[in-house]
Structure 1
Amino acid sequence: MKGLYFIEPIVAIYAFASFMIYPLVQQYVYRRLWLEITNSSYPVSDNTSQCGNNISHSRQQDEVQKAASLFSMYSDLSSMIPSLIVTLLLVSYSDQRGRKVTIIMPLIGSLIYTLSFLAVSFFELNVYLLIAASFVSALFGGVATMLGGCFSYVADLCEDGKQKTLRMAVVDMMIGLLAGVASISTGYFLHTTGFNWPFFTSSIFHAVNLLYAVFVLEETRVIDRSETVGCCRAMQKLVCGIYNLFAGGSSQRKWVLLLLIVTFFSLSFVNTGGLSMITLYELNEPLCWSEILIGYGAAVSTSIFITSFVGVYLFSLCLPNIAIAYIGMLSVLISMLMTAFAKTTLMMFLVRIPAMFAIMPFPVLRSMMSKVVSKSEQGVLFACVAFMENLSTNGASAVFSRIYAATVAWCPGFIFLLGSGLCIIPISLLGILRCFHSLDSNDTQALLSEDGTEASDEPAVA
């Protein structure tokens, strides 16, 4: 059977399976901690808001909020170090042994993670075993590892710079489209069947996805398997590849690439940190959302992947890449600022409107970075990007969780005010990049080819 070169089904199924349980994770932990701290069952009703049931438990609710946010911090920290190391090694290694390994390994880890949740939920095991499950699954990489492999896979297939930007935006759109469908269904699924069936269903989807990646997906980098490389030699090649990525080429290329990576990291840190606290914020007073409302809210949030793809497609017809990234960063800033003051259900849904272009900077920045390195460096580049994305994802969740635990009693929205303020960092870095790299088309082509790599048809920094 001839393999297929379609990475989108893997991203779509992965997004559906992950977002089927992502809104449930914090809810499950929240309810288990509620039971332990208050010695009473969690109030479940068909009402859109459950604050009326919890007025007499305001202090206990603050304790549960703190405990849940600290649990999230411990879970993120336990998975951060192994995930960072595995991400850097696997995605870099894909330049030598193909891209599929960076996709298959994280899928195995995701399957282990969901099966662990199913076991803890079904047998009512100690909830802190989930922290151990996070650590074990991180040994196989994480979402950043898989996406790093997917974007390297796309970069292998695309020759034209604009095609590369749009294809990467399609990958991001697939995440939003399927994540939205999963988020809507999850609220009703949980309300009807409880936690066990969603966890089981997610495990089935991850298993199917793994089979597709192993037996159907075709490899983009055909490697001569007769060439045997020892472990130490392979590690040396990885280190040299990362070193040459930043040391090789002109000084302008080096600084442009460094600024792009730091900009990507800082924006991912802010965006991920804010999103990680949304569910707890919605469970807290005065919103006190039910599982159904949380599902709708998560679905509306994931729709920004679709609107961001449309934005990238339309804006790329008339605007340079940096302008598109600026629009997306302002979208993140405004939405976080509004979230900090959202006290009603209607307002909480409305804050998703200014966030409609929040994902645009990520495929644009990835494409800009990809265009300043050669094809043989794509795996090393996206290994570094995935490493920084993994660091920002886990680090931001841990940091924002700790700050939320310290401020939830007196200002639950403080964490979003902080996030909106931190958005100034990537905006400023992009401004520095624009001033630093104000080259015309010919000079930009020279930047790409000075180190011997092929020049792209488009400027490296539009």
Structure 2
Amino acid sequence: MKGLFLVEPVVALYAFSSFLIYPLVQQYVYRRLWQDLTNTTYPISDNTSRCAENNSSNHSSYHEEVQKQASLFSLYTELFSTIPSLVVTLMLVAYSDRGGRKIAIIMPLFGTLIYTLAFLAVSYFELNIYLLIGSSLLSSLFGGLGTFLGGCFAYIADLCKDDRQKTLRMAGLDMMIGLLSGVASIATGYFLRAAGFNWPFLTSALCQCVIILYAIFILEETVNKVPTDAIILDGTPQRSATKQMLYGVYQMFTGASRRCKTVLLLLILIFTSFSFAYVGGISLMTLYELNEPLCWTEILIGYGSALSTTVFLISFVGVSVFTYCGVPQLLIILMGILSVICGMLLVAFAKTTLIMFLVRVPMLLSIMPFPVLRSMMSKIISKSEQGALFAGLSFLESLTSNVSGAIFNSVYASTVSWFPGFIFLLSAGLCAIPLSLLGVVSLIGVDVAKEDKVPAEQDPVEDENDNSSLLR
């Protein structure tokens, strides 16, 4: 049977299966810690807020202590899984330039399946929740979300010849992640209320098995693997995954002019600093919603997570419309960063359920910078270096996500007692870094567009057109 060059179904099902359990992870840990620390049953209510029924000082102190312990649990999980995941991400995605993109897509799927099955075992047999930290470490040896997305974006870059098509398909992947994660988040709340934690974990594991089968047997490879004997006859030395990654990164920066390298470095810094600020704030939304005075139930958390679906959808529509209308890409990035700043400032002072739902409105364009930045960086380098680029981006994205998660969780644990919203003010303030770097790119980007960079495997005329549209 002939394979398909469609990675979108893999991303869609992966997003659905992951976000079917992602909102449950913090809730499960929160409930188990509540039972262990208070020796009482976790309060479950059909009301929009549990705080109204439990406003005693003891109950408030319980919430405060459980918030701290749950935040620290997330911190430990991030710390133990960060380094293995980063190393595997660099090696697999860079190796995909020679060994094929599918290895960078399939390996993280097995890691996610292991993590999901471990959660199912801990939930079903009521094992010690700190075993989840060990399962997180084990799954990180197969790569993580950064590895998976790096392989998928490199796969898209291989297929797309036109810059506009590349931007839209990358934005489409981001939208698909948000859309399917929103559907899963809505289902999670009702699933948990009706069947407990075990069935969502089992359903997620079954979905991941389907994804693995599709990726192995149906998804077509985009990279033609070079046979070993052909390499030897050609005289080119065969490199290991590590050497291939280092060589790819070296070629990525040496094959361009000084100003192109400067722009590439600045775009990478914008990408990582914005990811640090955005992911750090978003990762604590669920804990903030579980805390007083909101005290959301699992149903409200599901609706809140699902409402974030509109963020991905509107961001995709925004990128599509602005790209079609010829809006400069730097301006699209600027609008996305300002969207995050406004949203985080409102979250910091949200005290009612209505306001907490409404804060998603100013964040509707917050995802736009990611696909636009990936597309801009992909234009600068040659086709043979796409794997090295997305390996580096995935490495940096995973690093900033894990580091920001660890830092933001530790800060939240320290500030939750006097001002829980401080962490979102910090997120908004850190967005000033990518804003300032964006200003620098706007000053030097026009000169870069006038320079020619001719990779060995590309036609000079085609590459001149690529460079002239770099900041268009």
Give your verdict on TM over 0.5. Answer: yes
CA contact (8 A) 1:13 1:209 kept: yes
> 3-state SS of the aligned residue for 1:224?
coil
**2-structure distance, mates of 1:448, 1:381:** 17
Asked if 1:264 is matched to 2:271, the reply is yes
Unaligned runs of 5+ in 2: none
CA contact (8 A) 2:91 2:241 kept: no
Q: What's the TM-score, normalizing by structure 2?
A: 0.95
CA contact (8 A) 1:448 1:460 kept: no
**1-structure distance, mates of 2:418, 2:458:** 55
> 3-state SS of the aligned residue for 2:313?
helix
In the other structure, the counterpart of 1:430 is 438
CA contact (8 A) 2:63 2:291 kept: yes
**1-structure distance, mates of 2:245, 2:282:** 33
In the other structure, the counterpart of 1:189 is 191
From 321, 326, 329, the counterpart of 1:318: 326
In the other structure, the counterpart of 2:27 is 27
Identical-residue share of aligned pairs (%): 59
CA contact (8 A) 1:250 1:451 kept: no
CA contact (8 A) 1:373 1:453 kept: no
In the other structure, the counterpart of 1:408 is 416
Aligned AA for 1:131?
A: I
**1-structure distance, mates of 2:28, 2:471:** 44
Aligned AA for 2:6?
A: F
CA contact (8 A) 2:382 2:455 kept: no
From 448, 454, 461, the counterpart of 1:449: 454
1:42-441 aligned at under 5 Å gives the runs 42-56=42-56, 57-227=59-229, 233-316=240-323, 317-439=325-447
- Residue by residue over 1:260-290, the C-alpha shift from the partner in whole angstroms, topping out at 9 and shown as x without a partner, is 1110000011111011100000000000000
CA contact (8 A) 2:90 2:245 kept: no
In the other structure, the counterpart of 1:461 is 471
Q: Bigger CA drift: 51-60 or 68-77?
A: 51-60
CA contact (8 A) 1:248 1:451 kept: no
Q: What's the TM-score, normalizing by structure 1?
A: 0.97
Unaligned runs of 5+ in 1: none
CA contact (8 A) 1:50 1:288 kept: yes
> 3-state SS of the aligned residue for 2:251?
helix
Aligned AA for 2:255?
A: G
In the other structure, the counterpart of 1:11 is 11
CA contact (8 A) 2:290 2:296 kept: yes
- Residue by residue over 1:89-108, the C-alpha shift from the partner in whole angstroms, topping out at 9 and shown as x without a partner, is 10000001110000000000
- Residue by residue over 1:106-145, the C-alpha shift from the partner in whole angstroms, topping out at 9 and shown as x without a partner, is 0000000100100000000000000111111111111111
Aligned AA for 1:65?
A: Q
- Residue by residue over 1:20-62, the C-alpha shift from the partner in whole angstroms, topping out at 9 and shown as x without a partner, is 0111100000000000100101000111111023322101110
**1-structure distance, mates of 2:203, 2:33:** 24
In the other structure, the counterpart of 1:37 is 37
- Residue by residue over 1:353-387, the C-alpha shift from the partner in whole angstroms, topping out at 9 and shown as x without a partner, is 00000000000000000000000000000000000
Aligned AA for 1:400?
A: F
Distance of aligned partners of 1:416 and 1:163 in 2 relative to their CA distance in 1, 3 Å threshold: same
**2-structure distance, mates of 1:244, 1:127:** 45
> 3-state SS of the aligned residue for 2:441?
helix
Distance of aligned partners of 1:322 and 1:132 in 2 relative to their CA distance in 1, 3 Å threshold: same
**1-structure distance, mates of 2:452, 2:360:** 39
CA contact (8 A) 2:121 2:127 kept: yes
Distance of aligned partners of 1:55 and 1:355 in 2 relative to their CA distance in 1, 3 Å threshold: same
